[in-house]
Amino acid sequence: MPLARRRFDTLIIGAGGAGLNAALQLADSGLGVAVVSKVFPTRSHTVAAQGGVNAALANVLPDNWHWHMFDTVKGSDYLGDQDAIEFMCREAIPTVYELEHAGVPFSRLPDGRIYQRKFGGQSQNFGGEQAARTCAAADRTGHAILHALYQQNLRAKTHFFDEWFAINLLRDAEGVVLGALVIEIASGEPLIIEAKTTLLATGGCGQVFRTNSNAHINTGDGMAMALRIGVPLMDMEFFQFHPTGIAGKGMLISEGVRGEGGYLINKDGERFMDRYAPHARDLASRDVVSRSIMTEIKEGRGCGPRGDYMLLKVDHLGEEVVAKRLPGIRESSKIFAGVDPAHEPIPVFPTAHYSMGGIPTDRFGRVVVPERHGEETVPGLYAAGECACASVHGANRLGGNSLLDILVFGRLAGKDIREYVRENPYHRDLDDAVVQAAIAPLERWEQGGDGPGVAEVRAELQRTMEDHAGVFRTDEIMREGVDKLDALRDRLAAARLRDHSKAFNTARIQALELDNLYDVGRALAVSALHRQESRGAHSRPDYPERDDKQWMKHSLYFKAGDAMDYKPVRTKPLTVETFPPKPRVY
């Protein structure tokens, strides 16, 4: 029986900040918008973003977008594309005002303007005094933004497919993307959604690591879908370990805690960041703070009976600041660490947090792939948010720039899609062969028989990634990791589902997610093995220096044959002078 089909002007996969901000632009301009999300939209992981969104509003301290741009370029360890970064930092300002108008309940200053807090890696005047650039709704900024965007989409009558899972993109022989094959989780029924454009906004892939700050749903689905139609993933070796996850658990303790004046101490009660970053101290960039914590622990200055965590001290801020500015953190600390930060320090350890890499796009969210003399767009395909790589974060993302990234590029992708649909007003014919190719993963998991279970293989994958692609990476460690991944590929092929029923079969969804996790984990491990330098989050004791001569370039990983390619960093901004690479000290 042929599969059911539905047609929309545009399809958006993922209902976090990027997907919903794009959807809002499009629905408000009268296009038929389908948003497919594997969870109810307000459960998307944007909801968990705590600290805030960066924009040089200058509400608290002097600021401008050009300083923001400098900090972001420096934070990226000079791997970010400076045209995209200039664009993001300029667009940040109208984007935040638009969100405020949409209803986001930002915290306020006495004069009624949006409250802004200090965050890591922020400076005034190109590396001078600390700036305060992060617009916050207490420590629940992501929640406040996601709910407001969902609410505005209800007004705009966006068509939601809640709890539908996207399996594969549909790409025809000419390379045009025509929509996606999706499955309704409640009924187990597949459906073809035909669309003139498809936006991947599926978020991150933190579940490739065992200890992570990510939600269960962050399985790199969009990244893996892109890989499967031949699109490479860019800069996947750059994965951020957030310095302050709750020790042993991984839940995030926002950088906002340090922005409000909290600081880290070792077992001697020493404020050790003074030694690693004398100027910025606890508000140095995340990669720097994570490495410092790992070094302290390795050198025997960790806290607790096993010496395996650091303490984040907050109590000196006083109960009132903690209650007013960090209520969510206080709640999480009580529940998961059993401490009230208003009175006791929080045990913390770096946690896998954020993928700087992703699906390569230009600054309008259009997916780009290498062609003989440069690069070309994939017609009909867009990507935005954590699954994409514009590239604004380069080798290390600054706190407060991820909400910014998803909102700016979601919004801009929406505007560009509007133009694309105007120029390409008709659906193209969708061939059965294209559909057949897309349905393969679904059919593969219908096989019966014995074999390893999905949960078991996923646990092995997560352990392998944690052990072999963590904060410190050497050739030997990573090579061993790739070998283990080779062996795991056979285990994955042998894995079987026990439950083949249709109704709300989350086991099937988890199996499809495992396929995605594997592909993305492999992209990360192979890209990391190839990069022989230390830059940003990619830290190699065997190549401890940044090597701008050889390696100031973006990695591109292709699924076919694990092939690597590279492309230059775009160092020319739109209107201002280039920031040339400099040693990165905080």
Partner 1 sequence: MKFEIYRFHPEHDSKPRMQVYEVEIERGMMLRDALLAIQAKDETFTFRHSCGEGVCGSDGVNVNGVNMLACTTRVSDLKEPVQVRPLPGRPVIRDLVVDMSQFYKQYQSVDPWLQRNEPNPEREIRQSPEQRDKLDGLYECIMCACCSTSCPSFWWNPDKFLGPQALLTAARFVLDSRDQATEKRLDALEGPYKLFRCHTIMSCVEVCPKGLNPTRAIGHLKAMMLKDSV
Nearer to partner 1, 501 or 532 (CB): 501
Contact between 501 and partner 1 per CB under 8 A: yes
Of the candidates 286, 291, 330, 418, the residue annotated as catalytic is 286
Contact between 499 and partner 1 per CB under 8 A: yes
Contact between 463 and partner 1 per CB under 8 A: no
Cβ 336 to partner 1 shortest distance, Å: 7
Contact between 112 and partner 1 per CB under 8 A: yes
Contact between 574 and partner 1 per CB under 8 A: no
What are phi and psi for residue 47, nearest 5 degrees? -60, -25
Per-residue mark of binding to partner 1, 214-243 (x: CB under 8 A): -xxx--------------------------
Per-residue mark of binding to partner 1, 393-432 (x: CB under 8 A): ----------------------------------------
Residue 299 neighbours by CB distance under 10 Å: 11
Is the CB of residue 38 less than 8 Å from the CB of residue 163? yes
Count Cα neighbours of 365 within 13 Å in the Cβ-side half-sphere.
34
Subset of residues 23 to 42 that bind partner 1, contact rule: CB under 8 A: 39-40, 42
Tell me which residue has tokens 């190719």.
437
Tell me which residue has tokens 């031949």.
230
Contact between 62 and partner 1 per CB under 8 A: no
Nearer to partner 1, 428 or 502 (CB): 502
Contact between 530 and partner 1 per CB under 8 A: no
| CA 368 – CA 366 distance, rounded (Å) | 6
Nearer to partner 1, 472 or 504 (CB): 504
Cβ 204 to partner 1 shortest distance, Å: 13
Residue 98 neighbours by CB distance under 10 Å: 16
Contact between 392 and partner 1 per CB under 8 A: no
The Cα angle at residue 208 between residues 204 and 209, in degrees rounded to 5: 110
Cβ 387 to partner 1 shortest distance, Å: 17
Nearer to partner 1, 332 or 396 (CB): 332
| CA 347 – CA 258 distance, rounded (Å) | 14
Cβ 48 to partner 1 shortest distance, Å: 5
Pick from 4, 335, 440, 576: which binds partner 1 (CB under 8 A)? Answer: 335
User: Can you point out the beta strands (E) in 342-487?
Assistant: 346-355, 359-360, 366-371, 374-383, 388-389
Contact between 143 and partner 1 per CB under 8 A: yes
Pick from 1, 173, 503, 560: which binds partner 1 (CB under 8 A)? Answer: 503
Nearer to partner 1, 165 or 420 (CB): 165
Total number of residues that touch partner 1 (CB under 8 A)? 62
Contact between 448 and partner 1 per CB under 8 A: no
Cβ 251 to partner 1 shortest distance, Å: 5
Nearer to partner 1, 100 or 375 (CB): 100
Six-digit token string for 456: 């078991």
Pick from 140, 353, 538, 584: which binds partner 1 (CB under 8 A)? Answer: 140
Closest among 274, 286, 279 to 395, alpha carbons compared: 286
Contact between 114 and partner 1 per CB under 8 A: yes
| CA 390 – CA 367 distance, rounded (Å) | 9
Pick from 68, 74, 147, 535: which binds partner 1 (CB under 8 A)? Answer: 147
- The Cα-based distances of 62 to 95, 134, 568, 572 in angstroms read 19, 13, 34, 26
Tell me which residue has tokens 């390893």.
452
Cβ 499 to partner 1 shortest distance, Å: 5
Q: Which helix (H) or strand (E) holds 37?
A: strand 33-37
Tell me which residue has tokens 């699906």.
359
Pick from 11, 18, 33, 48: which binds partner 1 (CB under 8 A)? Answer: 48
Pick from 4, 455, 487, 574: which binds partner 1 (CB under 8 A)? Answer: 455
Active site residue 546: no
Contact between 102 and partner 1 per CB under 8 A: yes
Six-digit token string for 325: 């500015």
Residue 479 neighbours by CB distance under 10 Å: 13
Six-digit token string for 156: 């705009």
Using CA atoms of 136, 142, 146, 147 in order, give the dihedral in degrees to the nearest 10: -70
Contact between 336 and partner 1 per CB under 8 A: yes
| CA 77 – CA 294 distance, rounded (Å) | 20
| CA 292 – CA 310 distance, rounded (Å) | 10
Tell me which residue has tokens 């599969």.
3
Contacts of 35 (CB under 8 A, 6+ apart): 12, 14, 15, 19, 20, 23, 41, 153, 158, 159, 160, 161
List of residues contacting partner 1 (CB under 8 A): 39-40, 42-45, 47-48, 57, 97, 100-103, 105-114, 137, 140, 143-144, 147-148, 151-152, 154-155, 186, 215-217, 248-249, 251-252, 328, 331-332, 335-336, 338, 453-456, 497-499, 501-507
- Annotated catalytic residues are 286
